[in-house]
Structure 1
Amino acid sequence: MPSPDGTLHAITANRLRDGVVVFLAAGGAWVESFADAALLTKAEAEPALAAAKAQADGDQFGVDVYAFEVERADGTAQPVKMRERIRALGPSVRLDLGKQAAA
């Protein structure tokens, strides 16, 4: 459910073992696909982010844990800013590489 202003949030990090971009899914699991990421209201994102940071730190799992804005367009969720779109899909100069190549 979106926030009153319609904004959703997702949480991302880089997996410490290999640097792969991961997203927080429902239930607290980390997944590689943005499509599987939990979409949270701002009120839900703040405590989830704090818990995700603590978990990633304690487990030495991930670094650079942060929340970012997501919007719904044409029935699908997508990151609002280009930085997160690239992190979710892969390189923007070669569509045959990265996660978008598998789609």
Structure 2
Amino acid sequence: MSRAFTPKVVTANALLEGDVIYLTADDRWSRLHHEAELIEDEAHAQLRLLHAQSQRASAVGPYLADARPGPDGPEPVHFREAFRTRGPSNYRHGKQVEQSHV
């Protein structure tokens, strides 16, 4: 018996800056996880991944990451993905500074 499909988001790294990015439903790349398209169908997830892989001028290493619906949009399921939403861990700037004021 096959397992139920876990919802996904498409994530990658921005080609020039290296920031973590997420594919949105309207085909933009966003640096905000909650703006990502939450994909709840396995076939659609594979199509979205193929689309992301074709975006070589803007995204590196796209893959599907498990996610769950949240009150403000998709939320990461695994520690690794939650960690990636916070940005680089070697110094405080960007997302880390912005989140420390919240």
More helix by share: 1
- Of the structure 1 ranges 41-50 and 73-82, higher mean CA displacement relative to structure 2 is found in 73-82
Identical aligned residues as a percent: 28
Structure 1 outlier segments of 4+, above 6 Å:
92-96
How many residue pairs get aligned? The number is 97
Q: Distance in 1 between matches of 2:72 and 2:26?
A: 23
Which residue pairs with 1:61 in the alignment?
58
Shift of 1:82: 1.0
- Of the structure 1 ranges 68-77 and 14-23, higher mean CA displacement relative to structure 2 is found in 68-77
Unaligned runs of 5+ in 1: none
What amino acid is the match of 1:61?
Answer: S
More strand by share: 1
Query: TM-score, normalised on structure 2?
Result: 0.76
Which residue pairs with 2:76 in the alignment?
79
Unaligned runs of 5+ in 2: none
Structural RMSD (CA): 3.0
8 Å CA contact 2:8, 2:45 repeated in 1: yes
Call closer, same or farther: CA 1:74–1:93 in 2, change over 3 Å.
Answer: farther
Query: TM-score, normalised on structure 1?
Result: 0.75
Which residue pairs with 2:39 in the alignment?
40
What amino acid is the match of 1:43?
Answer: A
